[in-house]
Structure 1
Amino acid sequence: MKIYFANALFSQADFEYNTRLVAELRQADPTLSIYLPQENAAINDKNAYANAEMIAQADTEQLTASDLVIAILDGPTIDVGVASEIGVAFAKQIPIIGLYTDSRQQGATNTQKIAALQQIAENQFHYLNLYTVGLIKSNGAIVNSTDALIKAIQEQTH
């Protein structure tokens, strides 16, 4: 199975997280072929040069040749590149698994948190763009842990 891994890759934290998570996925199932854009030095060696069209073409070729997209949804908002990749995957009917680990999704039944929503600027929960979430759910799923991600990938491969 060919998988496209979509996440931000410009901070050290994102770069290291991507490396660690993809290594864990590869170890869980060595038959997976995972494209991690940051490993493509032809377009992502930031000491070299690749223009916007070169980057779009290289990543889109990998994305549209994939059987599955993993999209990381964490951060203040969904990364704009990841949102674009979700849109392409949806248009090409490629299944998507979103990974959303933000701890603010917890406490959905806490009455104090729910009541706080009535006060301006007192949202105790994190918000994801519902259009983008809808694209994922239309042809995939959203999970909230690495274990659940591995299980969802296994379900896609069997």
Structure 2
Amino acid sequence: MNVYFAAPMFAKSELIYNSYLVEKIRQQYPDLAIYLPQENDTINDKTAYADSKMIALADTQKVEESQLMIALLDGITIDSGVASEVGIAYANHIPILGLYTDSRQQGSDNQQKLEALGTVAENQFHYLNLYTVGLIKLNGQVYSSEEALLTGLNEFLNE
């Protein structure tokens, strides 16, 4: 099965985390063919040249060849490339498993946090673009931890 791993990939911390999580999945599921865009030097070696059309065509082809997408949603906002890839996966009826680990989602039952929502500039929670999240949920699931993602992946693979 081909899996497309959609994730931000421009900060060193992002590159390291992506590699870590993909390696963890590869070890657990060696039969999966996981495409991690940062490993495609033809378009992602930032010392070389790839124009916008080359990048769009290469990654779109890999999304369309996939039977599953895993999308990392963490960050100030959902990475624009990830959001685009989610849209392509949704349009092609490819199931999507999202991972959103932002710690600000904790405490949803805390009354003080809930009351703070009514005070300007005191939102204790993080916002994700609901359109992109909706595309994922219409064709998959969003998980709040690596462990939950791996459990969801296992359930998907055993369906």
Give the TM-score normalised by the residue count of structure 2: 0.98
State the alpha-carbon separation in 2 of the partners of residues 144 and 118 from structure 1.
25
Question: What is the match of residue 65 of structure 2?
Answer: 65
SS at match of 2:131: helix
Residues 28 and 150, structure 1, Cα contact 8 Å, conserved in 2: no
Question: What is the match of residue 128 of structure 1?
Answer: 128
State the alpha-carbon separation in 1 of the partners of residues 142 and 122 from structure 2.
25
Question: What is the match of residue 10 of structure 2?
Answer: 10
State the alpha-carbon separation in 1 of the partners of residues 8 and 55 from structure 2.
14
Question: What is the match of residue 19 of structure 2?
Answer: 19
SS at match of 2:122: coil
Question: 1:137: Cα distance to partner?
Answer: 0.3
Question: What is the match of residue 101 of structure 1?
Answer: 101
State the alpha-carbon separation in 2 of the partners of residues 156 and 50 from structure 1.
35
Contiguous gaps of at least 5 residues in structure 2: none
Structure 1 ranges of 4+ moved more than 6 A? none
Question: 1:21: Cα distance to partner?
Answer: 0.6
State the alpha-carbon separation in 1 of the partners of residues 142 and 69 from structure 2.
12
Question: What is the match of residue 30 of structure 1?
Answer: 30
Q: Percent identity?
A: 58
Question: 1:84: Cα distance to partner?
Answer: 0.3
In structure 1, what residue type is equivalent to 2:137? K
Question: 1:146: Cα distance to partner?
Answer: 1.0
**CA RMSD, Structure 1 to Structure 2 (Å):** 0.6
